[in-house]
A and B are shown apart, each in its own frame.
Chain A
Amino acid sequence: MQITVTVNGIPCTREVEPRLLLIHFLRDELGLTGSHWGCDTSNCGACVVWLDDTPVKSCTVLAAMADGRRVLTVEGLGRAGRLDPVQEGFAACHGLQCGFCTPGMMMTARWLLDHHPDPSAEQIRAALSGQICRCTGYENIVRSVLWASRHEAGQHGAGQHEAGQHEAAAPRAAGPGAGETRGALP
């Protein structure tokens, strides 16, 4: 069947099997490998992306269900080459170690700050309680989100994630060595 999903602002039309999971559509069809998967039972949250305006576990959604809807992934965070404050917060506060859970954590954090700009540490922990990290013990993830909430001036609001204002869906990953390995924070 043919589906059209607007991913990070770009309409993507593809022929897919109905059983194709959204996470595989994003990673394998569109080459957006920033979202990951880590379990079989919808527990780990490495796959969290936005479907329309809300974080969902994309391993538990069929690509077909996203037909006609919008998806935002980590590749779509930030605006016109600038990092999102959530991304900056994670780097400033050592909120990541291996980086595997990080995109999912950031997508939920971004949603949280859009709706609760001044969350408490407890609210942050509750909001992220459906997602597993094996490296950080969560402490610095919470600090990263708090940092982002305090550094949102001038960039506040969900508007920055609307269509057309962020990076286009990347081409398929090119294979060995693909992916940037350098580049300081702006």
Chain B
Amino acid sequence: MTGAAEDLRRTACGGSAHGGSAHGDSAHGDSAHGGSAHGDSAYGSLPRKEDARFIRGKGTFVDDIQLPGMLHGAILRSPLAHARIVSVDTTAAQAHPQVEAVITGQMLAERGLAWMPTLSRDVQAVLATDKVRFQGQEVAFVVARDRYSARDALELISVEYEPLPPVIDAERALDPGAPVIRDDLPGKADNHIFDWEAGDQQATDAVFAVADVVVAQDMLYPRVHPAPLETCGAVADLDPVTGKLTLWSTSQAPHAHRTMYALIAGLPEHKIRVISPDIGGGFGNKVPLYPGYLCAIAGTMLTGRPVKWVEDRSENLMSTSFARDYHMHGEIAATADGRILGLRATVLADHGAFNATAQPSKFPAGFFHIFTGSYDLQAAHCQVTAVYTTKAPGGVAYACSFRITEAVYLVERMVDLLARELGMDPAELRMKNLLRPEQFPYTGPTGWEYDSGDYPRALRLAMEMAGYDELRREQARLRERGEYIGIGLSFFTEGVGAGPRGQMDILGLGMADGADLRVYPTGKAVLGISVQTQGQGHETTFAQIVAQELGISPEDVEVVHGDTDRTPFGLGTYGSRSTPVSGAATAMVARRVRERARIVAAAMLEVAPADLEWAGRRWQVRGDPDQARSMAEIAMAAHSALELPDGVEGHLDASMVYNPPNLTFPFGAYICVVGVDPGTGEVTVRRFIAVDDCGVRINPMIVEGQVHGGLADGVGMALMQAIVYDENGNCLGGSFMDYLLPTSAECPSWELGTTVTPSPHHPLGAKGVGESATVGSPAAVVNAVLDAISPFGVRHADMPLTPANVWSAIQGRPQRTDLAVT
């Protein structure tokens, strides 16, 4: 089936005029790195195993789960951004005939459950007790027999609030006399969270002092929201007899969640089972613990029955982890002929009412200090100040690779602004400054060690695919006719696959992930991994890795994930870490199995293990192909009565924990072509060329799918997405009518290219890719729009570049997009 299906796909799915699948200069992109040199590779664009259930509508998402006696929960949320809670009266709600329980903050407080730790070592209210601190904050939880009654009962709860002034403008949050939001923290007298810096300030200042050209720009990366199509939710079921809590939830990190529930709720960890069933998209939105999950747990503890809580879309947009909200000031220093010397950035980070960002704990501003980008700089320095505001908590989410989205946007805008200042073509300026292949591995001015890359080759390929020179000529011709197209570039370096554990932990849990592999007597394999797919195709890709290492078919490998009872511990899927970390763990554990198989095969063939060589699908005696054993034969023997030598105890099972030595550094060159109608400000994305290099690609089809999705994110963020609050603290982005997402009509047909620069430290030479396109694309779209309207004297305008904003920018009045329009 494999070969035929793959042929079918390749010949029939190509589609676009620019070549459907990878159009690249690499002939080796699809082949394995190291490992097997013979026979059919298990790598390639294998159709996905998980599709069988989804195309039939037979997936199991959290809201699909129905248990006997299950109750439904609903959350009452604050309509105010900042207020004291005077009283909460649940009498009428409790009297509703379908209501089983009503839980308040007070009730949770009596059990020590009203507050929970966040992933950034702050605390967050599960249900508010003293104050509410953002519109949409959780105040009470109703448990009823059906979801409609739960919703009705919310209206029967009476809360008396004493309004307080909200803090909406992050730039005012540290003003003397600003209302103090976090008076729950002992001694807290302001809205400051932390300061953080990286790089060498002195060296950077020195470089700026002698530069011929310095360009400075304020820019905003607006508050956006990942908005996976499936909202967050959980079904909590505490078995009163065994005391075991089973929690189905939309979690990208089920093991980490299990440990946190044990710590928060005081439940023994071995009596907690967290199951992430099918998840309808994560994008970082499903990494944190949310009050609703804790409420569902409290509900099942109280009622002794399963309790389901699934949020509405408005709840998702207004209370779960948003992304970005970085107010950045960038400066770039260069020589007169376009050699970039240094970069500086200061950032004001709006974290909302609680510091609940999810990133490795030693990096409170995530990996923002990779803002030096893909260029050969002498010095750089950045400084981040984080503040509280009366808005939903969050900030690290939405395929950001821990703030690399913000970093890449900043540097790619600064490079374009420098090009504008110098009168240089932005592609030429980039080409002049990109790191050269011979500089790798490269340690940058803020400490990152990039593993491998050939940047100029990727940029050249993108320009060739785009027909860059012809596009510039066309742009000139159209301008003479009063028509405006823009060509925007973005070159990005990503850092993904967090680990190593010594540097990277979340709440003290080291970011190393396990894999365990069992091979059954008939040669079928079951792989348990700790990462959690939300659509990335792990059931297929990881089967391919095992298949490749063991010389068996991917059909003979079952991938188990998402159930903490059945899989090894790990920190989950986000930050594009699945292939770099769990992919490595999988390859390594499969190699351990293969080495055990060597010893068994040697016993079967009555030779020494050193006499055998791996022939792609079999262990065979060197130089004697007739003396060989396949993995299936070896597996049966490993379970048999065969006398085994030292070094193998029997069976072929193995487990390991992979501690990555470094991140992996995928990169890419993107070119976006837009048309702008200056009379209305409307933008059309005409073309988008994306060259990505994520090292060895195990399943190119899946890789390309990941890129496609991220490119749509770029169009959306650049042109239409923003969560904005008005001066009273009302969230103006609380529905899909207000928070606009791109549809098939706004997206062009993506044109993809590939180069392959393997990672030298990854066992497969692979790098992550899931977030690359989201990281790289917004700058390309923004640079394109600004390029289109530069004849009108526009230097910069912030995302989202809505028609109103574009037109206003053309009039010389670009909008401030973090505040409500006035």
Q: Which residues of A contact B (CB under 8 A)?
A: 17, 19-20, 24, 27-28, 31-41, 43-44, 46, 73-75, 83, 87-88, 90-94, 96-103, 106, 121, 124-126, 128-144, 146-147, 150-151, 172-185
B20:A143 contact, CB within 8 angstroms: yes
A105 to B661, CA, bound (A): 42
A179:B53 contact, CB within 8 angstroms: yes
Contact of A100 among B48, B61, B704, B736 (CB under 8 A): B61
A41:B65 contact, CB within 8 angstroms: no
A34:B747 contact, CB within 8 angstroms: no
A99:B59 contact, CB within 8 angstroms: yes
B708:A137 contact, CB within 8 angstroms: yes
Closest CB pairs A-B (n = 4): A34-B57, A98-B535, A99-B54, A100-B280
A44:B9 contact, CB within 8 angstroms: no
B52:A180 contact, CB within 8 angstroms: yes
Given A73-B57, A94-B47, A184–B555 Cβ distance below 8 Å?
A: yes
B231:A143 contact, CB within 8 angstroms: no
The reply to whether the CB of B283 lies closer than 8 angstroms to some CB of chain A is yes
Q: Which B residues touch A74, using CB under 8 A? A: 56-57
B705:A136 contact, CB within 8 angstroms: yes
The reply to whether the CB of B446 lies closer than 8 angstroms to some CB of chain A is no
A91:B51 contact, CB within 8 angstroms: yes
Given A100-B281, A142-B749, A185-B5, A75–B228 Cβ distance below 8 Å?
A: no
Tell me if A's interface is mostly helix, strand, loop or mixed.
Answer: loop
Contact of B57 among A39, A75, A136 (CB under 8 A): A75
Q: Which A residues touch B350, using CB under 8 A? A: none
Q: Which B residues touch A19, using CB under 8 A? A: 148
Q: List 24 A-B contacts (CB under 8 A).
A: A20-B148, A33-B60, A34-B56, A38-B230, A40-B735, A40-B736, A43-B737, A87-B56, A88-B55, A92-B9, A92-B13, A94-B702, A94-B704, A97-B706, A99-B53, A99-B280, A125-B747, A126-B745, A132-B736, A136-B712, A143-B15, A176-B277, A182-B558, A184-B555
B54:A96 contact, CB within 8 angstroms: yes
Given A41-B313, A129-B744, A137-B708, A181–B736 Cβ distance below 8 Å?
A: no
Q: Which B residues touch A126, using CB under 8 A? A: 744-745
Q: Which size bracket describes the interface of B in this complex? A: 35 or more
The reply to whether the CB of B27 lies closer than 8 angstroms to some CB of chain A is no
A78 to B558, CA, bound (A): 27
Tell me if B's interface is mostly helix, strand, loop or mixed.
Answer: loop
CB of A107, distance to nearest CB on chain B (Å): 10
A94 to B279, CA, bound (A): 17
B60:A178 contact, CB within 8 angstroms: yes
A94 to B50, CA, bound (A): 11
B743:A172 contact, CB within 8 angstroms: no
Given A40-B312, A91-B48, A130–B743 Cβ distance below 8 Å?
A: yes
B743:A41 contact, CB within 8 angstroms: no
Q: Which residues of B contact A (CB under 8 A)?
A: 1, 5, 8-9, 12-16, 20, 47-61, 63-68, 147-148, 226-231, 246, 248, 275, 277-281, 283, 312-314, 534-537, 555, 558, 701-702, 704-712, 735-737, 741, 743-745, 747, 749-750
B56:A135 contact, CB within 8 angstroms: no
Contact of A31 among B66, B275, B743 (CB under 8 A): B66
Q: Which B residues touch A24, using CB under 8 A? A: 147
Q: Which A residues touch B534, using CB under 8 A? A: 98
A180:B58 contact, CB within 8 angstroms: yes
Contact of B1 among A102, A121, A139, A184 (CB under 8 A): A184
CB of B404, distance to nearest CB on chain A (Å): 19
Closest residue of chain B to A128 (Cβ to Cβ) is B744
CB of A184, distance to nearest CB on chain B (Å): 6
Q: Which B residues touch A83, using CB under 8 A? A: 55-56
Q: Which A residues touch B743, using CB under 8 A? A: 128-132, 138
B709:A136 contact, CB within 8 angstroms: yes
Q: Which A residues touch B5, using CB under 8 A? A: 92, 185
- In addition to A37-B63, A74-B56, A179-B59, 11 A-B residue pairs with Cβ atoms within 8 Å of each other are A35-B57, A36-B280, A46-B229, A93-B9, A96-B54, A97-B535, A97-B537, A121-B16, A136-B705, A139-B16, A185-B5
CB of A37, distance to nearest CB on chain B (Å): 8
Q: Which A residues touch B65, using CB under 8 A? A: 173, 175-176, 178
A143 to B800, CA, bound (A): 29
